[in-house]
Chain A
Amino acid sequence: MSNVAENSENLLTDWHQKAITLQKNINQTILGQEHIIDLMVVSIFCRGHILLEGDVGVGKTTLLRATAESLGGNFERIEGTIDLMPHDLVYYTHIANDGKPAVSEGPLLKHGENLSIFFFNEINRARPQVHSLLLRVMAERSVSAFNKTFFFPHLQVFADRNRIEKDETFELPAAARDRFMMELHIKQPTAEAQLKELMFNTRYYDADKLIDSADKAVLPFHQLNDIAVAIQSYIHSSDTIQDYGLHLCQALRKPQDYGIQISDIDTEKLVLGGMGPRGISYLARSARAHAWLNQRNSVTPEDFHAVIRAISKHRIFINPVYNYNGEAIIEELISGVLNTIPSP
């Protein structure tokens, strides 16, 4: 083994420990969301943006805050409101100490290149103008303001939205949803012991205190980009697994070609679009990161199975005729694909 390969293996082993620490740290704060936290860690090591969706009061915001605090770096948060405009993210005007009007940098620009996490709470309450600014920030990690371009190389966007309340909300456009690497659906824990813990343990009563109690900045966030690149080049994907991954994506786009049957659904007319080049690349990247987190040097079907729902669910656009039960149908489609496509 060459020195470079050995160094990169050692580096990734060190970082694996750090990833486990990060995972444990978040798990100590948030109860009963181990699978979601696993996927969030995968996304962090792929440098992908995350959108959390769930019922009211299941801990979406707390989870994202805990993750942001554990990651370290400069963290900014904004609340999505109906009157929020794109410039509110970029600058704000105020009366300075000298009594004169002044323009200061807003949450996006305040920390310059050191911005690590931008947390957008209740994203679907913001207007499409704000979503479109976010499109660029997420895709290019840059924004133009004051006649120059600001870059955020370490930026990761975390957003959440409430899935129950639909009044005065703006559905995220398909392009914006596609830029989120994962859309994670948080459900409340089902285990009785965990629910009792959440109910009676005073530790969980105060979210601020809870987050403060956990370790902060357990990772050198500014090295994450390099580590993400190292993971992608170090984890091997054989021809067999490449074929498998590709067929999974194709079957999600054209289930009829793979003989996938869903009861009462005409699969030929079901899928309108989804799993484009960005989606399939995210799937491969997250499968590699998942393999690395599970201490494997190569991707296996298990890795695809672990991440495919979080990666593909929000990217599959079905015929509006089936929207009445869209979520369940997409879920059934993904299960059908996983059960039908063999490997090898």
Chain B
Amino acid sequence: MAINKQLKQKMYVPMFLAVLLAVFCSTALYADQVRTGIVQQSLGRDFGILVGDVIEHYYIVQVPAEYSLTPASLPPNGELDYWLLLLDSDYELISESAGLRQYRLHFTFQTFYAPLDVRALATPPLTVSFNAGVKTEQLTIPAWNFTMSPLKEIAPRGVAKDSNQNAFMKADLPPSTIPTRDLQQQIWILAITLLVLAILWLSLKGYLFALTRSPFQQAYHQVKKLRKHPNDESAFNQALQSVHRAFNRLAGHALFAHQTDQFIDKHKEFSGYQDQIDSFYQLSTEALYSEQKVASEKDFDQLLKLCKQLAGAEKLALKKS
């Protein structure tokens, strides 16, 4: 028995050594050949998916270190099926250690399947390639099975109760309102302040009174201001411009010398001043187009007189009407 026990003990030692060697060898072999595959995945809920839902899948895959992902092998965005859309696919290298690389793959799908009852469906398998020089390794992302649920019941009660087709539809959600009660008071105060300031500015600048004046009254005041600079060549041109503006405003369009007859036909109140109007246009032509006129105070006076006469005629016509 003792001999037998000794013999057994002698046999155990080489067996233990053989097992140790085998374990060591297999570990070394494994270190040389890292297996390409999915090491982790996050696929989300595989039930209760509704039409229009966005499905996001994350995979962490590993490959031997010399392999790198071929970006062109990622499935292109677009329709995978008549009901399934691949919205996006991207990748990221998340770790790189001796002998091993890990990538995170991210696929975003959107389903447009509208089932009438709970329906089992599956995303198609997708293939991604990794290459190391001329060597290529392919990894298949397996199909993902899930069930889709309907949005509405098959036979809505609304149909049975009445023939109103709207019964199929759910009632509109009431719009969510933003409380503005507190702001209203501030807005009113701001608006009134701005209005008062605008009126104040218009009246200080004289524009408020100008609005109530006739075009020729306005021109009269502008010419009167410009008359204070008779030696300034541009002052007379500006004065002419003011009177032209008055004519244009009243005519409703740009009025020129050859159109004065039509203007007077329309505005009979000025028919007594045809000669004065014609001589104004003549004066304007000499000063602005022929550039042969040196303006004098007399010319300013002519403009002032014309503006006064025409403003008076306009006022009279308004009173009569």
Q: Which residue of B lies closest to A301 (CB)?
A: B256
Number of chain A residues whose Cβ lies closer than 8 Å to a Cβ of chain B: 19
Q: Which of A298, A338, A339 contacts B289 (CB 8 A)?
A: A298
Known A302-B257, A302-B258, A339-B253; contact A240-B288, beta-carbon cutoff 8 A: yes
Q: Which residue of B lies closest to A338 (CB)?
A: B254
Number of chain B residues whose Cβ lies closer than 8 Å to a Cβ of chain A: 17
Minimum CB–CB distance from B217 to chain A (whole Å) comes to 20
Q: Which residue of B lies closest to A291 (CB)?
A: B289
Interface residues of A in 327-344 (CB under 8 A from B): 338-344
Chain A CB within 8 A of B105 CB: no
Query: In the bound complex, do residue B256 and residue A302 qualify as a contact, i.e. CB atoms below 8 Å apart?
Result: yes
Q: Give every chain A residue within 8 A of B291 (Cβ-Cβ).
A: 236, 238, 298
Minimum CB–CB distance from A232 to chain B (whole Å) comes to 16
Q: Which of B14-22, B126-134, B176-184, B238-246 contacts A (4 or more CB under 8 A)?
A: B238-246
Query: In the bound complex, do residue A340 and residue B257 qualify as a contact, i.e. CB atoms below 8 Å apart?
Result: no
Query: In the bound complex, do residue B289 and residue A299 qualify as a contact, i.e. CB atoms below 8 Å apart?
Result: yes
**Does more than half of chain B's interface fall in helix, strand or loop, or is it mixed?**
helix
Chain B CB within 8 A of A121 CB: no
Q: Give every chain B residue within 8 A of A344 (Cβ-Cβ).
A: 237, 240-241, 244, 284, 288
Q: How far is the CA of A111 from the CA of B288 in the complex (A)?
A: 47
- B176-200: CB near A (< 8 Å → 1, else 0) gives 0000000000000000000000000
- B285-307: CB near A (< 8 Å → 1, else 0) gives 10011110000000000000000
Q: How far is the CA of A299 from the CA of B288 in the complex (A)?
A: 10
Minimum CB–CB distance from B252 to chain A (whole Å) comes to 8
Minimum CB–CB distance from A84 to chain B (whole Å) comes to 43
Q: How far is the CA of A236 from the CA of B289 in the complex (A)?
A: 8
Minimum CB–CB distance from B253 to chain A (whole Å) comes to 4
Q: Which of B241, B245, B253, B290 contacts A238 (CB 8 A)?
A: B290
Query: In the bound complex, do residue B253 and residue A343 qualify as a contact, i.e. CB atoms below 8 Å apart?
Result: no
Query: For B237, B244, B248, B289, which residue has the most chain A Cβ atoms within 10 angstroms?
Result: B289
Chain B CB within 8 A of A241 CB: yes
Chain B CB within 8 A of A305 CB: yes
Q: Give every chain A residue within 8 A of B241 (Cβ-Cβ).
A: 344
Known A301-B256, A302-B258, A340-B254; contact A241-B248, beta-carbon cutoff 8 A: no
Known A342-B244, A344-B244; contact A297-B258, beta-carbon cutoff 8 A: no
Query: In the bound complex, do residue B254 and residue A343 qualify as a contact, i.e. CB atoms below 8 Å apart?
Result: yes
Chain B CB within 8 A of A300 CB: yes
Minimum CB–CB distance from B260 to chain A (whole Å) comes to 11
- A209-251: CB near B (< 8 Å → 1, else 0) gives 0000000000000000000000000001010110000000000
Q: Which of B244, B245, B253, B289 contacts A340 (CB 8 A)?
A: B253
Minimum CB–CB distance from A291 to chain B (whole Å) comes to 9
Q: Which residue of B lies closest to A299 (CB)?
A: B289
Q: Which residue of B lies closest to A339 (CB)?
A: B253
Q: How far is the CA of A143 from the CA of B291 in the complex (A)?
A: 44
Minimum CB–CB distance from A159 to chain B (whole Å) comes to 31
Interface residues of B in 204-246 (CB under 8 A from A): 237, 240-241, 244-245
What are 24 of the A-B contact pairs (CB < 8 Å)?
Answer: A236-B290, A236-B291, A240-B237, A240-B288, A240-B289, A241-B289, A297-B290, A298-B285, A298-B290, A298-B291, A300-B289, A302-B256, A302-B258, A305-B256, A338-B254, A339-B253, A339-B254, A340-B253, A340-B254, A342-B244, A342-B245, A343-B254, A344-B240, A344-B241
Q: Measuring CB to CB, which residues of chain B are less than 8 angstroms from any residue of chain A? A: 237, 240-241, 244-245, 248, 253-254, 256-258, 284-285, 288-291
Q: Measuring CB to CB, which residues of chain A are less than 8 angstroms from any residue of chain B? A: 236, 238, 240-241, 296-302, 305, 338-344
